[in-house]
A and B are shown apart, each in its own frame.
Chain A
Amino acid sequence: MKLETDIDMSVKIGELTLKNPIMPASGTFAEGLSQVMDFDRLGAIVTKTVTREVRAGNPTPRVVERPNSMINAIGIPSKGVAHFVEKIIPLYAHLSTPLVVSISAPTADGFACLARDLSLPGVAAIEANISCPNIEEDGKAFAMNADSTATVTRALRAATDLPLWIKLTPNTGDMPAVARAGEAEGADALVVANTILSMAIDLKTFKPSLGNVMGGLSGPAVKPIVLRQVFQCANAVDIPIIGCGGISSAEDVIEYMLAGARAVQVGTATFLQPNIMPRIIEDLQAFCYHRQINRASALTGALLIEEADESDLSWLDPQ
């Protein structure tokens, strides 16, 4: 391996090959970023969750910051499926980067119909957001338990031939069971995870800081929790895991990959550094080069839990 560019950065998520493991998290990416970065560099593009019906979203304030994190209650505003098909999908048609479409619906049937209607040319995969804590009352979502995850995944699987990713919620007490339910019903990959249900109160007004009262925590503060969940899911299933939570550097990506993630999504970090994804790709490549790792995909699951002998690590060390 002579050059950094000799490193194979590609990863496989089921049948879909991505040129690198870095993609945006749904709801933190839109065409505005094309002013800052070249979308062709990304492993994939993931669009903001779309619903069939037109939705207004939550009242403002929709966001509040906390140390190393933020809480959002945007509420999935959506211009509906027709607008999405006519206006959003074509925006990304000229790119070599695959387009992943995130969907949400209030019922399993609704999810299935939407997945069917969005299984269109130009769409490379469906990401079912069965986890958004703001939509369902009290933050409940399909991915809160294994049974409802199985029901919705089964309906989705029957509705589309596209690769099916399901996005889990970190708010369930039994991640591995939910992950297994998704795998058993035919999901091609799991996205772990959405935001952590949370709350903040304004001491000046004694009111909740968010219009919706509760919201989802994201950003660097959530990383250790979601990393643990990726690790648990990776041990529970054989399908690829896409890690998502608090990633803002290549080091974070490497942690996620070692814990078992095949690829990752970057969300909140883009708000602070709009150019962070291309930078992470470069840094990840540089890391692989310095550690003489030929393929980035070799990092996935390479965590050494047992006490390592020297020889176990030799493949990672520069000669």
Chain B
Amino acid sequence: MTVEPLQLSDFSRDDHGSIGLVRESVPRPFKPTVVAEMSRVVSNDAVNAEYYHLVVECGPVAAAAEPGQFFSLLCPKLPGEEPFLRRPMSLYGTNPHQGRIEFLYKVVGSGTRGLATLKRGDLLDIMGPLGRGFALDPGLTDIVAVGRGAGLATLAPLAKAARRNGTRVTAVFSARRPDLMVSVGLFEEQGATVIQVTDQEATSGPANVERILRELITDGRCQAFFTCGSSRLMRVQQRLAEEFSLPGQVAIEQQMACGIGLCFCCVRDFNVGGTIVNRRVCWDGPVFDLLETLP
């Protein structure tokens, strides 16, 4: 394995400003661009048998989060359970005017079980916004969003952002069963077309998804891929992106401890021009170039 050469991007993140060699002679009050603060729960409702939709009131720094960024949540502890670390959750929605952010999460373990107990008015310690989100080129007229499971939550803010740019979105959403499908209404409200595939209906296999995507490409509806939540579907898009020379971005998950680039526990391998490099998902991502990402 060859190892990553020196990169300025290791510590300067121009997109989000703030990091780098800032030299100043006049001290000015420190302004954080990431906060850890107590937010207040506005609502936390089950949307189906597995997912909850959480809305919290937060300060302006948190509410300025962008699509593809995430927060790290200090989950309430249920009796007998001891989640210790924070839990990463993608931004599902934001309303900077109301000072609100939203999450859509699946209950899987001690942390998310604790989250599910939150009631209106409760406090929740949120840390964010974290990471580098989707870069949505305003020049694109047509994009395709492909997601599965909790990945649909991560893709959700794209719908609104794309509409603002006048970009048409076609979403291909995959789930085990139709009743576990999330985010569909949200995409449709923003004018997106949603194609649903499920395991139950035997429509979610890679071959069928590839067929759907090929059609979209032929119809001129796919200038770029945006995806999250399934390695199998990512591989399908990588093949097509290569074949048709299309760009793409993928949001990936990895276990985290700090969420802000300190601990190097969230690394994954990437293929950058034939060289395998190691990147931190929380810091360099969680959104990465589709073709560089390894399954």
Interface residues, chain A, CB within 8 Å of chain B?
Answer: 27-38, 40, 48, 54, 56-57, 60-63, 65-70, 72, 74, 77, 79, 82-83, 86-88, 90-91, 93-94, 219, 270-275
Contact = CB atoms under 8 A, between A and B. Distances in A.
Contacts of B85: 63, 65, 70, 271-272
Interface string B239-278: 0000000000000001101111111110110000000001
A61 B255 contact: yes
A30 B19 CA distance: 11
9 contacts: A29-B262, A35-B32, A35-B34, A36-B32, A60-B254, A60-B255, A66-B84, A69-B84, A219-B84
B202 interface: no
A62 B19 contact: no
Interface string B139-173: 00000000000000000000000000000000000
B188 interface: no
Contact of B263 (A38, A72, A79, A88): A72
Interface string B164-204: 00000000000000000000000000000000000000000
A36 B34 CA distance: 5
Interface majority SS on B: helix, strand, loop or mixed? loop
Nearest to B3: A54
A91 B36 contact: no
A189 to B, nearest CB: 23
A184 B242 CA distance: 63
B6 A91 contact: no
B197 to A, nearest CB: 28
A273 B72 CA distance: 11
B258 A87 contact: no
B295 to A, nearest CB: 14
Given A60-B255, A274-B34, A67 B6 contact: no
Q: Which of B34, B74, B257, B261 has the most CB of A within 10 A?
A: B257
A270 B262 CA distance: 9
Contacts of A72: 257, 263, 265
Interface in B38-79: 74
Interface stretch (B20-28, B89-97, B99-107): B20-28
Given A60-B255, A83-B6, A35 B33 contact: yes
Interface of B: 1, 3-4, 6, 8, 10-11, 18-19, 21-24, 27, 30, 32-36, 74, 82-86, 127, 254-255, 257-265, 267-268, 278, 283
B257 A63 contact: yes
Contacts of B127: 274
Given A35-B32, A87-B10, A94-B21, A65 B260 contact: no
B278 A57 contact: yes
Nearest to A64: B255
Nearest to A76: B264
Contacts of B259: 271
B84 A38 contact: no
Contacts of B8: 87
Contacts of A67: 82, 84
Contacts of B262: 27-30, 32-33, 270-271
A274 B22 contact: no
The winner among A31, A36, A38, A91 for most chain B CB atoms within 10 A is A31
A91 B11 contact: yes
Contact of B86 (A37, A40, A271): A271
A35 B18 contact: yes
Contacts of A61: 255, 265
Contacts of B24: 94
Nearest to B17: A35
Contacts of A31: 11, 19, 261
B263 A63 contact: yes
A57 B1 CA distance: 12
A248 B96 CA distance: 32
B260 A35 contact: yes
A285 to B, nearest CB: 18
A5 B247 CA distance: 56
A-B pairs with lowest CB-CB distance, top 5: A32-B261, A38-B30, A65-B84, A62-B265, A63-B265
A74 B21 contact: no
A94 B11 CA distance: 15
A31 B18 CA distance: 10
B263 A28 contact: yes
Contacts of B34: 35-36, 274
A70 to B, nearest CB: 6
A273 B36 contact: yes
Contacts of B11: 31, 87-88, 91
A66 B81 CA distance: 10
Contacts of B74: 272
Nearest to A54: B3
B60 to A, nearest CB: 15
A67 B84 CA distance: 6
Contacts of A40: 27
A36 B36 contact: yes
A34 B21 CA distance: 11
A86 B83 CA distance: 39
Given A62-B267, A70-B85, A271-B86, A36 B35 contact: yes
Given A57-B267, A62-B264, A90 B21 contact: yes
